Amino acid sequence: MQESTCETKLGLYLAQVHEAALSQRKDVNLPSLDDVCNAYIQQVLEVSAGNHTQAAQILGIGRTSLYRHLKRRKTADAKTRLRIALHEICP
């Protein structure tokens, strides 16, 4: 049941993004593909209660690919935190 809820939320979100893109509104801040991908993977991990094997199956990718994605995201998050900290020290 939770998988369909996750898919429904993603579907509605993508429909809104598509509508905004079609209207070419300048005031809409569209997320990057990476942001959408990260959000979807996070939702799938929540649905699978953190079970990486089950999450990878739901996503249709191998467990190794999921680990690789999570490692890249963790590295990107660490770089962002470092950039913010450095900006606070040296604005």
Tell me the angle at which helices 33-47 and 52-59 cross, rounded to the nearest 10 degrees: 130
* Helical H segments across 24-51, by residue range: 33-47
Task: Please list, in sequence order, all residues whose beta carbon lies within 8 angstroms of the beta carbon of residue 47, skipping any fewer than 6 positions away.
Answer: 2, 3, 6, 55, 58
Given this model, what pLDDT does residue 12 score? 76
51 within 8 A of 14, measured Cβ to Cβ: no
DSSP class of 7: H
CATH architecture assignment, domain 2-89: Orthogonal Bundle (1.10)
Q: What is the pLDDT of residue 24?
A: 65
pLDDT tens track, the chain, 91 positions:
445 666 677 777 777 777 776 666 666 677 778 888 888 898 899 899 999 999 999 999 999 999 999 988 887 777 777 777 777 777 6
Task: Output the pTM of the full model.
Answer: 0.59
The per-residue pLDDT for 1 is 42
Sequence ranges of the domains in the chain: 2-89
Helix, strand or coil for residue 80?
Answer: helix
Cβ proximity of 3 and 58 under 8 Å: yes
